[in-house]
Structure formats: structure tokens, C-alpha cells
Amino acid sequence: MKSARLLTQLQARLTELAERLTPVAQQRSARARFDNQLFHSQSVRLADCLQEADRNMAQLRQAVTHQRSEQVAWYAERLVLQITALERELATQTLRKTEPAQADTGKTLYEKLAEHQEYERRLQSMIADRERQLESGVQPNAPLVQREIAALEGRLQRCRQALKNIERRIESRESHD
């Protein structure tokens, strides 16, 4: 019963993700976006990564059917990591579109400040989402979610440090003017 609910939740999340990825799934990036331990394909297209996640979902279903608990745990954890990585990649698509232009345009400190404030807001939102997952008690992989929260909090800390550095640079320039 528990496995059926897990499969349903993962499939729903994967289906919803596939729909959201459709507009950008075929776009190519300059290099592979994910670590080769997360996605073996090392493709430059999100569509290929999504296909790999779909294959893992099929493997998970098969492991559940054959009652292979170790494989179920491994595939479930891997699939959650892949879905989370794809969701994170999708959330940062608008930022990635501006990456090549950043070097050419030489953003002002105020533009960098605004950008990092947006990063901070997004990271806070992602942390809050993961914490809600833990509190709901429905999350089958609580240790995985806790690791995600820890990683996000590390990113948030680095983001806040970058914000402080930008603010100091702005203050320094204003005091010299």
C-alpha cells in the first residue's frame, strides 16, 4: 500500500514536471547540466534527462512489482534527486538565458544586488517547500529532504555573503562620490 502511494506521488510529480519542461526541453546548453552520478546520459538537453528519469520510474515500478526492497529504495531516492534537480534547473531557466549576456553587458552593482536578492528569495522559498514536505509527514524520503534542506541552506548562506559583499561595494562607491 505504501509503495503504491509512493509510485503515484512520484509519477504525478514526474508528469507535472514533464509538462512544465516542455517549452525548454529541447534547448541545448553549452555543456551537461548535471553530475554524471545523477544522470548517466550527460546530455545537453533537458528532454534526455527527463527520459532517463522516466526510465528510472519504470525500473522503480518493476522493483516494486518484484518486491525488491533495496532496489525500490535506491530507485526511489535516485528518482527524487533527479526530479528535484530538474525542477531546480527549470526554476533557474530565466537566469540561464541571461548568463552569456552578463559578461558582455557588465552589470551594474545595483543590477547584481537585485539579482542576488532574487536568488535569496528563491532559495528561501525552496527551503520552505522542503520543510513543508517534512512537516506533512507524507515524504517517504525524509533523510533525503533533510540533506536537500542542508544543501539549500549552504547555498543561501553563500548568497547572503555575496549580497553583503555587493552592498559593501555599493556603500564604498557612494562614500567616495
pLDDT in tens, 12-63: 999 999 998 898 888 887 777 888 888 888 888 899 999 999 999 999 999 9
Residues 122 and 162 in one domain: yes
Choose one of 92, 119, 139: the last residue of a domain. Answer: 92
The helix/strand count (H/E) of the chain reads as 6, 0
Which residues span the domain enclosing 138?
107-177
**pTM attached to this predicted model:** 0.55
pLDDT at 51: 94
pLDDT at 95: 61
Residue 169 φ/ψ, nearest 5 degrees: -65, -40
Residues 77 and 15 in one domain: yes
pLDDT (average), residues 78-97: 81
Residues 65 and 7 in one domain: yes
Would you say residue 98 lies in a domain?
Answer: no
Residues 76 and 118 in one domain: no
pLDDT (average), residues 84-91: 86
Instruction: Calculate what percentage of the chain has a pLDDT beyond 90.
Output: 24
**Into how many domains does the chain fold?**
2
Residues 9 and 83 in one domain: yes
List the beta bridge partners of residue 25: none
Choose one of 41, 59, 92: the last residue of a domain. Answer: 92
Residue the block writes with cell 552592498: 167
Average pLDDT, the chain: 84
Residue 4 near residue 65, CB atoms below 8 Å: no
* Pairwise CA distance, residues 126 & 18, whole Å: 19
Residues 82 and 146 in one domain: no
List the beta bridge partners of residue 45: 28
pLDDT at 94: 61
pLDDT at 93: 74
